[in-house]
Structure 1
Amino acid sequence: MEVSSVSKLLTPSEFLSKAVLADTMAIDTETNGKDIRDGRGYAIGISAAVRIDNTYYSAYFPVAHESDNVEEETKNLLFQLIATRKRIIFHSAKFDIIALQTTGFNLQIVRWYCTMLMAHMLNENVPKGLDWLAKNELREPGKLKPPEWEFFFKIYGWSPKFPAKVMALYAAEDAVLCLKLFFHLYPIFVESGFDNGSEV
């Protein structure tokens, strides 16, 4: 399957209006850089992406930055979308599901896939990082870190102080790459007998 290169970053409100039209949505989280498993780590933002008519739409939902966070109503609308899509795609599900819970997400997900696990099941001998897979499976540049993002990262690192609007430039692209990777791997996944493909 050819991977579309058309990608558009939307505001959270714009994205929610688009995403209701898609059955499949990718979710990625950005955290404060501490261990998510021992209670010190928590998500400061949620990225989401969908594909509609061969165009990828994405948005970043800041939820625990020091400023510019989305309203509670907007966050809850995103939660409802996550809970009602036919398929939710993560790259590291065991991490992102826990991170989502730190934002107040307590709903059930209908069905989810993890592209890291999919890549491992298809070939256990290659690296499983999203950046490596984007470059080698999708033939894309991989994660983009704009100069503005690099500047603030040197100052704040993975911190709630990191400006949400700048984080969006990097974070939302991760969700897009995750979704592109899913659509690339999924036909091979089905052909290999790991899924019946009935929901494509």
Structure 2
Amino acid sequence: MADEYRNEISIKGKKSTIDEFIKQYFTIVDGLYYFDFEKVIPSNGKPYDEVWACGSEAYNFEIVEYDDNENLVFRFDTIDGGPGWIVAKILNEFRSAHIVSTLVCEMLSYAIVVNRPSFRDKPFVQKAIKSNCTQAEAEWINSVGQKFWGYSVEPDLVQRGFVDVGDGHFMRMHFGFDSLQDLYPQFKKA
């Protein structure tokens, strides 16, 4: 079964805070800025899920909004959950900024929003798991899914290129090494 998560981090604050965030946590790859988990919390060869709380580095990275008016919004995908420890470190290190982190599973089974205004120590947290939530929470997950994935109904895995291998299990087939390069691209394709 697919276990990809779309993440969005929004940071609002003074220009100097945004500039420091970019300087501290972004790497430039082929002239493009990339949010680098290794700069936030180095993995030092340990499994990613132990260090970052997700199973991969950021991929399909894109800057959604950036302006000189103290606003930076970027998105990326991860596997096996969201980068919980990465988000926690950002919240602790950039207390003067208003930070919102949103995550939703591609199967629309789970969503969480962590919203920490600059004047609060503790963030507001809204989360829901579809197997154990109210109708209103399920609709909220669907609306987050619509914004981040472009759909508000759980996708059909077979239509998304997965093969049904029985007992509710699906597998995505890839052929040749060339297809592996496109599996988790560092930057979102235009």
Higher relative contact order (CA 8 A, sep 6+): 1
Q: Would you tell me which structure has more helix in proportion to its own residues?
A: 1
Q: TM-score, normalised by structure 2?
A: 0.27
- Mark the structure with the bigger radius of gyration: 2
